[in-house]
Amino acid sequence: MLIVNAPVAALSWLGRQGTRAVAALVVIGIALPTIGAILKPYVTEAVFLLLCIAFLRVDATQFKTYVRRPAIVLGATAWTSVAIPALFGVGCLASGLDKRVPELFLALMLQAIASPMMAAPALAALMGLDATLVLVTLITSTALIPLPAPVFAFVFVGPNLSISPLVLAAKLFAILAGAALIGFAVRRVFGVPAIERQKERINGFNILVLFVFVAAVMESVGRRFLAAPRTTMTLAALAFVVFFAVLFCTVLLFLSAGRERALALGFMASQRNMGLMLAVTGAALQDLTWLYFALSQFPIYLSPHLLQPLARRMLARPPETSE
pLDDT digits (tens, 9 = 90+) for 229-253: 898 999 999 999 999 999 999 999 9
**Contact indicator for 279, 49 with CB cutoff of 8 Å:** no
The pLDDT value given to residue 78: 94
The pLDDT value given to residue 321: 47
Contacts of 248 (CB under 8 A, 6+ apart): 266
The pLDDT value given to residue 240: 94
CA distance 314 to 318: 9
Distance from CA of residue 26 to its chain's centroid?
15
Count CA atoms within 13 Å of residue 172 on its CB side.
Answer: 28
Q: How far, CA to CA in Å, does 87 sit from each of 14, 129, 180?
A: 39, 26, 30
> pLDDT above 90 covers what percent of the chain?
19
pLDDT at 160 over 80: no
**pLDDT bracket for residue 187 (50, 70, 90):** confident
pLDDT at 51 over 60: yes
Q: Please tell me the least confidently modeled range out of 27-41, 114-128, 246-260, 285-299.
A: 114-128
The pLDDT value given to residue 47: 78
**Contact indicator for 270, 89 with CB cutoff of 8 Å:** no
Average pLDDT, the chain: 81
Choose among 156, 133, 141: nearest CA to 85: 156
Q: Please tell me the least confidently modeled range out of 27-41, 49-63, 204-218, 287-301.
A: 49-63
The pLDDT value given to residue 152: 87
The pLDDT value given to residue 322: 44
pLDDT at 310 over 90: no
| Beta-ladder partners of 272 | 116
pLDDT at 168 over 90: no
CA distance 35 to 273: 22
- Greater confidence, 100 or 319? 100
Q: Please tell me the least confidently modeled range out of 82-86, 105-109, 124-128, 174-178.
A: 124-128
Q: Please tell me the least confidently modeled range out of 253-262, 277-286, 298-307.
A: 277-286
**pLDDT bracket for residue 53 (50, 70, 90):** confident
Tens digit of each residue's pLDDT (9 = 90 or more) over 118-158: 767 766 766 777 777 887 888 888 888 888 888 888 888 77
Residue-wise over 264-283: b if at least 16 C-beta within 10 A, else e? bbbbbbbbbbbbbbbbbbbe
pLDDT at 282 over 60: no
> At 47, is the secondary structure helix, strand, or coil?
helix
The pLDDT value given to residue 241: 95
> At 272, is the secondary structure helix, strand, or coil?
strand
How would you class 212 by CB atoms within 10 Å of its CB: exposed for 0-12, middle for 13-18, buried for 19 or more?
buried
Highest mean pLDDT among 82-86, 114-118, 300-304: 82-86
pLDDT at 159 over 80: no
Query: ∠124-174-115 over CA atoms, to 5°?
Result: 30
**pLDDT bracket for residue 275 (50, 70, 90):** confident
Contacts of 43 (CB under 8 A, 6+ apart): 212, 213, 216, 217, 275, 278, 279, 282
CA distance 188 to 117: 24
